[in-house]
Structure 1
């Protein structure tokens, strides 16, 4: 069997395990899949190979988790996020695809570390943000979705507000596939969507669906907010590994 993106057997095994763990984290806490998988792939290969892969897998996981979440979605947040992302994503893709692989790896890893710091800082807002602030975060999310990680700034933004856990998770689950549908043709235009993308997606789909299903069952007796801290720590570790590889 020929592995996609000229991966070695070790790299393929590493990414397969990363997909399983990332999907579990996403199913349990509602975020983190794309960032974890992209950061993990950056340790062993060019992370841009997996940008379109995570977009497709995110969409499939959202469909898998949609049942029972629809009535919790806050569409007043989703729509301005999408409007902002529509502006930010083309700019982010143009910038990211214009630099060498190691520079892209360093940018992605550095961005992830910054976002981990923001999430761990526990920044809080006294009241829910308005439409203007949500639109601005949408622009940031679009820029960050160039490497497939547009969920991190939104997760940090939502976590800072007094939003019920059910609405937090459901709104993210609704936002991701809509963002990804918009992103897909732009990824294709920039050469990030190829035949190997489909091969890699088919190969990773079984562990992703299993991990997402297990995570969504909440078999652990851990509060999703506490589990999110573990996910952020794991993400920071993977980003550090990717940054060290880029620098060396």
Structure 2
């Protein structure tokens, strides 16, 4: 058995798909501030089980955003961040319980479907207008936690709310970055308690940190203030391509 297959319990071709998806996901997150799951999961769901796909995503994503954190920390709205994470902690176990029962084919449809719906919302300008009271911020975190648990995509509720927020752009970007970082740690802890952290895919996720972090660093280096629209369009195109590729009509294992 080749070394790569022995170490990761995956054929080298499938490991290459995951590494490429991790690099691309990091790149998009580096210049757009979001999109890791939307890029990575459609590819990962095509070659891994739902639990393994989310496990590798969470593990690689824990370290990938670290280069962005020092700059973002100066702009975080701590009150909103605590409420978002508190709401997510309540609903995340329910989402994970649903994930553990989900068929792999249905998972692929769910991930690609959510990605396409979110992309449509971003392009069409779906937004929540107005200032959210504290309870509504916590509810947004709960919706994000459930969606993240069942499909590994916690971003849509938080992003749609914050994109129309009156808060300054650096604050929005910082809160989304730190929220997703905290969410990853919660998922990892809850999966560990549930006994769902497979050692082989745990190692795979850790190895994917390298291409994901490289992509994040490159994406952050490419980001130039004043060209946000161009970065958004690039991110939208990559998310669309990943979502369509992740549909069960395609067999990436061949």
Structure 1 and Structure 2 fold alike (TM over 0.5): yes
* Equivalent residue number for residue 179 of structure 2: 175
Q: Which moved more, 1:161-170 or 1:90-99?
A: 161-170
Query: 1 CA distance for matches of 2:188 and 2:248?
Result: 30
* Equivalent residue number for residue 200 of structure 2: 196
Distance 1:30 1:228, change over 3 A: same
In structure 2, the gaps of 5 or more residues are none
Matched-pair contact (CA < 8 Å) for 1:52–1:197: yes
Q: Which moved more, 1:8-17 or 1:87-96?
A: 8-17
> Which secondary structure does the structure 1 equivalent of 2:21 belong to?
helix
Q: 1:28 and 2:31 equivalent?
A: yes
* Equivalent residue number for residue 124 of structure 2: 121
* 1:1-248 alignment runs, 5 A limit: 1-3=3-5, 6-146=9-149, 147-218=151-222, 223-245=227-249
Matched-pair contact (CA < 8 Å) for 2:21–2:43: yes
Query: 2 CA distance for matches of 1:151 and 1:25?
Result: 14
1:47 Cα shift? 4.2
Deviations 1:4-37 (A, max 9, x none): 6643332222221111111011111111112211
Q: How many residues align?
A: 247
Distance 1:225 1:133, change over 3 A: farther
1:99 Cα shift? 2.4
Query: 1 CA distance for matches of 2:52 and 2:250?
Result: 16
In structure 1, the gaps of 5 or more residues are none
Query: 2 CA distance for matches of 1:225 and 1:89?
Result: 32
Matched-pair contact (CA < 8 Å) for 1:84–1:138: yes
Matched-pair contact (CA < 8 Å) for 1:24–1:214: yes
Matched-pair contact (CA < 8 Å) for 1:138–1:154: yes
Distance 1:135 1:221, change over 3 A: closer
Matched-pair contact (CA < 8 Å) for 1:91–1:143: yes
1:74 Cα shift? 1.0
Q: Which moved more, 1:102-111 or 1:225-234?
A: 225-234
Distance 1:126 1:98, change over 3 A: closer
Query: 1 CA distance for matches of 2:70 and 2:153?
Result: 24
Q: CA RMSD in A?
A: 2.4
Deviations 1:19-59 (A, max 9, x none): 11110111111111122111221233334312122222222
Report the TM-score, using the length of structure 2 for normalisation: 0.86
Matched-pair contact (CA < 8 Å) for 2:54–2:152: yes
Matched-pair contact (CA < 8 Å) for 2:29–2:35: yes
